[in-house]
Amino acid sequence: MAKQKIAFVCSECGADYTKWQGQCSECKAWNTLKEFKPSAGSKSRSVSFEGYAGSLSQTVTSLSEVDLSEQPRFTTGMSEFDRVLGGGLVKGSAVLVGGHPGAGKSTLLLQTMCHLSESMNALYVTGEESLQQVAMRAQRLNLPMQNLQMLSETNVEAICQTAQELKPAIMVVDSIQVMHVPDIESAPGSVSQVREAAAWLTRFAKQTGTALFIVGHVTKDGSLAGPKVLEHMIDCSIMLESSSDSRFRTLRGIKNRFGAVNELGVFAMLDMGLKEVKNPSSIFLSRESADAPGSVVTVFWEGTRPILVEMQALVDESQMGYPKRVAVGQDSNRMSMLLAVLNRHGGVFTGDQDVFLNVVGGVRIAETSGDLPALVSILSSLKNKALPKDLVVFGEVGLSGEIRPVPSGQERLKEAVKHSFKRAIIPFGNKPKTIDPGVKVWSVKNLQEVLGILRELD
């Protein structure tokens, strides 16, 4: 019996279905299933890209015999970008750069490509903006423009053909949602087109050793197939995110076959394009308005480095029967857990209070070291007592009120001391062997000790 073809794909998560249904059973999104038509000839026709040194060999080799002598990574020229890619760009890899429209994806890639084109063969394919628009932007940003090769094209087959002649070492396709494969009838941006176009491009990158960047827009309404649909095909998926009110952009790895994810690169969008921010602690810590109750600084671990960030809480008497619990930048369930611990083991009741928690600067803390500072900031707001400006707090809180150690405690403390913090409340398990003179460190074992210290603090 012939195998049934996949006929529907969820535009949110990329799950496959043979029949249409109202809700995606994978990601639970409603009305996101779109018809998927694989191209007629895609099975039978094999595409070959000859003439490349790194052309795919069809012979089987032992893993140990794979040639590793050639250094496959090269730098993008921006250390924050390299960091997110896991230490540089890998030859023959396909990297998806996702983000909301206007996040700065084209700007970031244009800057990178202009600089890279000075030392290697680089091709920028623009399907969204005209060549004039790109050139005007490059000129305004004062970028080196002589060597970058530009192509305005949306037909994937034509792009691959041109690239095959030009043999670029690095190529950008901006964006995947406007690309189309001629064999497929559906409109550009549909699941079928996006999938098939990405498959073509990644196959091209793999077979020719070209490093490929694919731009993908994240859209809310699902009218365009989002980056999730092709995440399984590509090697790295990185997201350029911005908090709406800020000129800072964070670049975050979602998937990386060549390095660790959860690395964070920080950029600032200035009038002269994107600039790297090499010391992110300094931007997340603009605390001129401090001395306000409910504000505390913590050190969280992002990828391979510690970053200082301010956490704020607002505890206010609830006007409704059902008090609000809102956490931004932290897990809401964790906050509910902390409030329960606070009540049970600290005797502090918040059941009749609205509790809001916010991590400043649009940062998301995805690890447990944010527990203790969240607790401390909630207490500070509840008691309406400001904490000292030179205090830093980190640690995990357990369900029995114990304070648990977190990884890399020493480095976190060092980072805080570097930014002239003089006092710290940290887990006992993270107690440093040597403490800088002039720095007061409380290493605590349980919630009771924390409450004692907070009472003592002026």
Under the rule (CB under 6 A), what is the footprint of ligand TYD?
99, 101-107, 137, 141, 269, 271-273
The token duo for 305 is 């480095």
**Residue 347 interface partner, choices ligand TYD, Mg ion, none, CB cut-off 5-8 Å depending on type:** none
Q: Give dist(CA 367, CA 235) in Å, integer.
A: 25
In the complex with ligand TYD, which residue's Cβ is closer, 107 or 298? 107
Quick check: 355 and 315 in contact, CB under 8 A? yes
In the complex with ligand TYD, which residue's Cβ is closer, 10 or 143? 143
Quick check: 163 and 152 in contact, CB under 8 A? no
Q: Give dist(CA 147, CA 118) in Å, integer.
A: 6
**Residue 102 interface partner, choices Mg ion, ligand TYD, none, CB cut-off 5-8 Å depending on type:** ligand TYD
In the complex with ligand TYD, which residue's Cβ is closer, 245 or 456? 245
Closest approach, Cβ 247 to ligand TYD, in A, equals: 7
Q: Give dist(CA 296, CA 291) in Å, integer.
A: 10
Closest approach, Cβ 100 to Mg ion, in A, equals: 11
In the complex with Mg ion, which residue's Cβ is closer, 51 or 101? 101
Q: Give dist(CA 243, CA 246) in Å, integer.
A: 6
In the complex with ligand TYD, which residue's Cβ is closer, 103 or 311? 103
HSE-CB for 182 with a 13 A CA cutoff:
7
**Residue 272 interface partner, choices Mg ion, ligand TYD, none, CB cut-off 5-8 Å depending on type:** ligand TYD
**Residue 269 interface partner, choices Mg ion, ligand TYD, none, CB cut-off 5-8 Å depending on type:** ligand TYD
Closest approach, Cβ 106 to ligand TYD, in A, equals: 3
In the complex with ligand TYD, which residue's Cβ is closer, 274 or 391? 274
Point out which residues bind Mg ion (CB under 5 A).
Answer: 106
**Residue 273 interface partner, choices Mg ion, ligand TYD, none, CB cut-off 5-8 Å depending on type:** ligand TYD
Which residue in the block uniquely carries the two structure tokens 């700065």? 104
Quick check: 224 and 189 in contact, CB under 8 A? yes
Closest approach, Cβ 214 to ligand TYD, in A, equals: 13
Quick check: 182 and 155 in contact, CB under 8 A? yes
Residues 6+ apart with CB under 8 A from 255: 231, 234, 236, 237, 261
Residue (of 221, 237, 262, 219) closest to 102 by Cα position: 219
What are the distances in angstroms from CA 342 to CA 295, 314, 369?
A: 18, 16, 16
User: Which stretches of 328-400 are DSSP H helices?
Assistant: 332-346, 371-382
Closest approach, Cβ 173 to ligand TYD, in A, equals: 12
Closest approach, Cβ 165 to ligand TYD, in A, equals: 27
**Residue 107 interface partner, choices ligand TYD, Mg ion, none, CB cut-off 5-8 Å depending on type:** ligand TYD
In the complex with Mg ion, which residue's Cβ is closer, 180 or 334? 180
The token duo for 221 is 């309404």
**Residue 202 interface partner, choices ligand TYD, Mg ion, none, CB cut-off 5-8 Å depending on type:** none
